[in-house]
A and B are shown apart, each in its own frame.
Chain A
Amino acid sequence: MSGETKREAARQRIAAKRAAEAAAAAAAARRRRTVVGGVVAAVLLVVVLVVVVAVQTHRTSTSADAAAPAGTSGNGYVFTVGRADAPVTVDLYEDFQCPNCKALEDSTGSTIDDLVTAGTAQVRYHGMAFLDTDANDDYSTRALNAAAVVADTAGTEAYQRFHDLLFANQPAEGGSGLTDDQLVDYAAQAGASGQTVTTDIDDLVFGEWVTGAEDQASKDGVTGTPTVLVDGEKLTDLSPAGLTAAVSAAQQ
């Protein structure tokens, strides 16, 4: 083998080695870039997560100075009627736009009122507002706000009368809801009238409280309306007989 060919072979070996080294360096650089990119992306994601969670938490916390109606009991979202020493408690979760709630009120509402009058049951009204639509101009919220205005002005028995009136005159689901003027009229019939009542209904003065009430119902584990609890037990038979039986059983 001549010296010339040996040198040629050595040059080739060196070139091949350099190419391999360059490829390894490039691969290492690519890996580094991938790792650095991954870490940067992960840190960025965590930062965005924390910021968004903080901002949204701030947005959902009800401000401490949000207007709340007078006359509530318990957690501030309940209106209670009936004697405090009544042996049985009935909790009602309803949306003023909910057709099944109207069906309950039409069939069993008078039985509920009779139980209250007789001193057998204390009824706790939990308003909900999840059937707002553009078509009904957020009727669920307007109706519950109006009910809170009535209780604020004239007490919980007026709330009960207003509640009965709104279910007796419930607007069709998918319709345009009752107008604010109609709500003011029913408020007057229930015993709450005056300029303050009108403006409080028009201005949705307890709008933020309504949102809180809806959240509270969700926290109470209520996922459908109407929900009726007799001494905390969910009632499945919502007929007058079903309610009467459950109340009698609760008295035992």
Chain B
Amino acid sequence: MSTLGPWAATTARLLLGGVLVAAGAVKLPDPAAAERAVRAYRLLPEALVGPVAFGLPVVEIAVGLALLAGVAVRGAALASAALMAVFVTAVGSAWARGLQIDCGCFGGGGQVAPGQTAYPGEVARDVGLLLVSLALARWPASRLALGGRAETELADVR
């Protein structure tokens, strides 16, 4: 493996970590909007809407911070891939059912006017991030990581 691999993994970590932390952080200031965004998918019973709407940003931020810091990179990358898979499925199902909603990926969300939906772009972005997550889980060794585990993996690479 070339010496560029670990730097590519670092880039992937910073990209995924940055996106996840940003996406989580913007959902915290307006919890009512977060609830409406989750409810608008019409996938969850009302009792689960609140916990998911409020818990999801915490998970996003936790996974994102682990990736940014470079701690438990493989686990965090798998968690990130799982999150992206859930998002793709949810947005795809909203699209397939003809709902007119914003994905609420970066705050906001809920219903939008007809013609204001952006499903292709939202799905394409999340699929892209899903592939980056999977690649990072396959080759987690990276530069500028705090976690000790990655250092030994890096040693194997060299």
Interface residues of A (CB under 8 A from B): 30, 34, 38, 41, 45, 48-49, 52-53, 56-57, 59-60, 98-100, 130, 211, 214-215, 218-219, 221-225
Contact = CB atoms under 8 A, between A and B. Distances in A.
Contacts of B114: 100, 224
- The prevalent SS among residues of B at the interface is helix
Given A59-B31, A60-B35, A218-B39, A130 B111 contact: yes
A224 B111 contact: yes
Given A30-B148, A57-B54, A224 B100 contact: yes
B58 A48 contact: yes
Contacts of A130: 110-111
Nearest to B57: A52
B113 A98 contact: yes
A203 B113 CA distance: 29
B153 interface: no
Nearest to B152: A30
Nearest to B34: A56
Contacts of A224: 100, 111-114
A57 B113 contact: no
Nearest to B54: A56
A53 B50 contact: yes
Contacts of A45: 58-59, 62
Interface size class of B (residues with CB under 8 A): 20 to 34
Contacts of A211: 32
B132 to A, nearest CB: 23
Given A53-B54, A53-B55, A60 B40 contact: no
B55 A52 contact: yes
20 contacts: A30-B148, A45-B62, A49-B58, A52-B58, A53-B55, A53-B58, A56-B31, A57-B31, A57-B50, A59-B31, A60-B32, A130-B111, A214-B32, A215-B32, A215-B35, A215-B36, A218-B39, A222-B111, A223-B101, A224-B111
Interface string B34-78: 111001101000100011011101110010000000001000000
Given A57-B50, A218-B39, A223 B110 contact: yes
Most buried by B among A215, A218, A222: A218
B149 interface: yes
A219 B46 contact: yes
A52 B99 contact: no
A100 B113 contact: yes
B64 to A, nearest CB: 13
Most buried by A among B34, B36, B62, B100: B36
Nearest to B41: A223
Contacts of B110: 130, 218, 223
A212 B151 CA distance: 52
B54 A223 contact: no
A228 to B, nearest CB: 14
Contacts of A60: 31-32, 35, 50
A59 B30 CA distance: 9
Most buried by B among A38, A56, A221, A224: A56
Contacts of B58: 45, 48-49, 52-53
B31 A223 contact: no
Most buried by B among A34, A49, A225: A49
Contact of A49 (B31, B55, B113, B149): B55
A41 B28 CA distance: 21
Q: List the 6 shortest-distance A-B pairs measured between CB atoms, nearest first.
A: A56-B54, A223-B111, A56-B31, A53-B54, A224-B100, A218-B36
Nearest to B101: A223
B51 A53 contact: yes
A41 B3 CA distance: 31
